Structure 1
Amino acid sequence: MAGRQARFKMSTRGVGQLLNSEMIQGELLRRAEIIKGVAEAISPVGGPGDPHPGVYKASWYVKVVRKPVGRSQKKRPVAVVGNSAYYARWVEYGTEKVHPHHVLLRAAQAGGR
């Protein structure tokens, strides 16, 4: 066997099947749940004057959707971590009166492994 090289021929159909597999969807969901857990842990709750204490922290969700991705625009599973509180955007990015918390950014940096 000396001198023989291994050969590999990629099957684009096989790669597509892999990307759509339950295994990949499960891993996407696992990583998204980790990010969600970190986001919940570091979410601000608000002080005594907050009219909605804890709503932001309790509003995190995870879902796996099928979206067109890449040049081919074929539908592939994509994990989404989001927050349904109407003011989530302002907590993440801040306003002229409130500093940005970057909760989702920090959670993604810390938890997506």
Structure 2
Amino acid sequence: MQQPTAPDLVHTMFTILPLVLSKCPRKNVAPTVVSPLLTQKALTLLSSCVTDKERRFWQDLGDAWKRTRADWPNSKMVPQYIPTFSDGWIPPEIPSLSEQPQIQSGIQTPPIN
């Protein structure tokens, strides 16, 4: 069995999400979702592989589904998204960009044979 490609996963998401939203007791919930705001990489991925039908659905989800935190008004007021799991598992904290190790320029790694 092959690993699915990123476009395959996007198409699967856009097949399942309308079904999930149609079963949601609160209609039109998608436009009220603000957190998590998508990253630029996520938006670029979606833009590069959605079909016309998926793009129309994506556009109808609301503004927060199409903008990054940097583009969102008052983005500091939007809480960081931390998923909650029924078994109590908590994902490890993601370090901020300033805390991540920096790669020093000029250092070369040996070639892999």
TM-score by length of 1: 0.23
Q: As a proportion of its length, which structure holds more strand?
A: 1
